[in-house]
Structure 1
Amino acid sequence: MNHFEQSKQHILQVSELTKKVRFILESELRTLWLCGEISNFIAASSGHWYLSLKDSKAQVRCAMFKGNNRYTRIKPQNGQQVLVKAKVSLYEPRGDFQLIIEQMEDAGEGLLRQQFELLKGQLQAEGLFDQRYKQPIPDTVTKVGIVTSSTGAAVKDILTVLNRRNPSIEVIIYPTLVQGETAANSISDAIYTANERDECDVLIVGRGGGSLEDLWAFNEEPVVRAIFDCEIPVISAVGHEVDTSLSDYVADLRAPTPSAAAELVSKDNQARINQLVHLKQRLTQQIRQLISDHKANFQYFNHQLAMLSPVQQLQSQQQLSDDLQMRLIQAMQRQQVSLNNSIALLQTRLNGQSPETLLIRAKQQHAQLQPRLIKAMLQLKDKKQQQLAKNAHNLNIVSPLATIARGYSISRDEQGNIIKRVADVSRSEQLSTQLNDGMVFSKIISIEKSE
């Protein structure tokens, strides 16, 4: 078998090539976060979104299907900076490299969330969240330290719960800023101060609820490392139950709210329940760690399964349908413009050939030609009169009448021929002589020739 015959065995159809490239992209790159500016945004009638993400040097086409975009909190528009979570893919019918967007956020909050995930991964890799470093919360608490704002709602809620459940517990407040650019350093300093004094059994670090930006100080590295270095058991109580901060991951125990933290350190009839909550937290963290360890393999197999998923195949067909629909609309619009131009051209030509237009044009031409015709006739008349006068003059010059008028005469024989020589006549022949004022008839008696 020669080289040409061997190479023929590896020839692919175009569709096979795009399918292979798509599988490689989706299986190797998987899910990623991307920040960029929206352009060419189209909300198709099918409910899917199509757009491009660009920066100053490049752009990439994206699609976000309605199953995902219905949960997006922002309304995309051209020029908007966004952060997206997307899968790298290929649009097989055109061979176009594209991203399939799963989540979309405003760039401001999205970048904070991205920083959150990056720092979380870094600290987790260092082992700051490992369960082996977690300290148990004492069964009996006599002194509680609180690191929070001295005027905020969180400290009031904690004091209210402690006073209601166990008024004997002594409270030490380490006041700090909980929001702003300097809040992280203020919080970490308060934690180190409490650790150095070593005057409480447990330390509650937290604040009331707010946006991601409001709670951001508890996601910064100085605060996380201060909690990790603290030898006093720390309970993180940041925001509400749905809020999660890096302080929650590094703390010995996470409470869903500041009030819940106060309940955890104040034992009463619900001590067993609180212990179960603690165990639940530990179990949850272990499960999350286990899920994180196996997430990579799960995503790989999930992508392989997605290649054969009817939903993804349907989405691809819907995207193709949307693409063809937009191309059809554009072609129809171009055809409509062409037809309108043709109709306008034919209308113009028809107006130019209408009897009314021709009659108006003929009248205008008649009005223009009539003066010219009259002028030409007058000029021709003058020319003919001049020519007639000239011909009359010339004729008068050569006319025998002029000669006769000067005293000459013309004689003719009986046949009317002009007699020029004596030899032209004979005796007894009748002659007619024309004079200036009439005719004279005579008969030849004799003929004499001059010598």
Structure 2
Amino acid sequence: MEDKYLSVSALTKYIKKKFDVDRHLNHIWLRGEISNFKHHTRGHMYMTIKDDHASIRAVMFHRQNQDLSFRPEDGMKVLISGYVSVFESQGQYQLYIQELQPDGIGALHLAFEQLKKKLSKEGIFDPIHKKTFPKYPEHIAVLTSPTGAAIRDILTTMERRYPIANVLIIPVLVQGKQAPASIVNGIKKANQIDSLDLIIVGRGGGSLEELWSFNDEEVVRAIFQSELPVISAVGHETDVTISDMVADLRAPTPTAAAELAVPSQLELLDKLKKMNQFIENNIRNKIERSREKLDSMESSYVFKYPERLVEEKEQRLDRAVDQLTKQLHRTVQVKRDYFKYLDQRYQRLNLDKQLEKQNDHVQDLLKRLYRASKQQVDQKGNLFSKNLTQLNLLNPTRIMSRGYSITYSEENEIIRSVNQVEMDDQLTIQLSDGLVECRAQEIRRGDNK
């Protein structure tokens, strides 16, 4: 008797074969929402694709998902290309995804936003991590394509602005699958060179796909970890990459990067010129103030009438001597009165022993008074001699005693030059011991004219 019953395996194989030969299920395009997403440790991705009324299990194997530029997430709207078949061991049909992209926005744009959000949470973009740049760099590394327009723009700008800077070109790939690793290696190499002051990383303009190497996570982290300050100069001003965000300084173009990296020699020369002018003006003003001060001193009362200064000092000295003498007399008188008072007391006591004792005391006091008075007189005399010596040193007549003289005009002004004297002028010559009145009969200048 023929067995009409099928095994579960046989039925499942039959259904699978029906799915596999159906040309409508072999290549389908599907729009849906991801849920229950799981990224297996072996690299495969498992998920459910659903809409408002139905759902289907799906898998995307590692060989298909390894080139995805974004990370699938629950709730993400996606566009799918793949085929439907039966997973025999569980007897269920499922979707085998071959291509996957976000619905509504590009995959690269989504990947950009995801990486930006991830790094922002880590604090990589915080200004606190930005390194400072040297004002006058001597050695600069440029990481870019050696044949692109970017390197020509950078070199031309640096030669024009700051030709003394040494530029080290580190050739790297700037687009393609191998570009991220090339850029990372270039940054590491630059950081191993002790003489370098900063790094410029960049390239010319291009599409988002062509600039994508500078949105690669490894490149971004290499820039962040660089010990040397980094200027990012990727594309044009409207092109913004994650490398621009993490770099210590972002330049809108390669030319702008060179301008930010080095100062302008014209500006430096202008600054030096202004500093030199400032110093010259300060020195000139100081000389002028000193000249005015000297002129003021020359026209002062002391230099015009030196003998009057001496007379004033002598008068002050006389007053000091008088005050000293009066003070000494007062002191002596006070002591005498005190001695007299003591003597009267001794006499009233009329005791020989006490009188003898007090007499000895009085004698001792007199001796002490004499010594104190003598010491005070000596000190005041020494002070007087010292002041007198200082006055003599300041006395212009002392200088005149060595053969010098001072000549005055009829207006009592000091004659400093023959140009102040005319023939027959009445002149007064002051010597150390008197005055000489004379008249100019002949004028001889330094050139004997």
- TM-score (structure 1 length as normaliser): 0.37
Name which structure has the greater RCO, CA cutoff 8 Å, separation 6+: 1
- TM-score (structure 2 length as normaliser): 0.38
Point out the structure with max Rg over C-alpha. Answer: 1
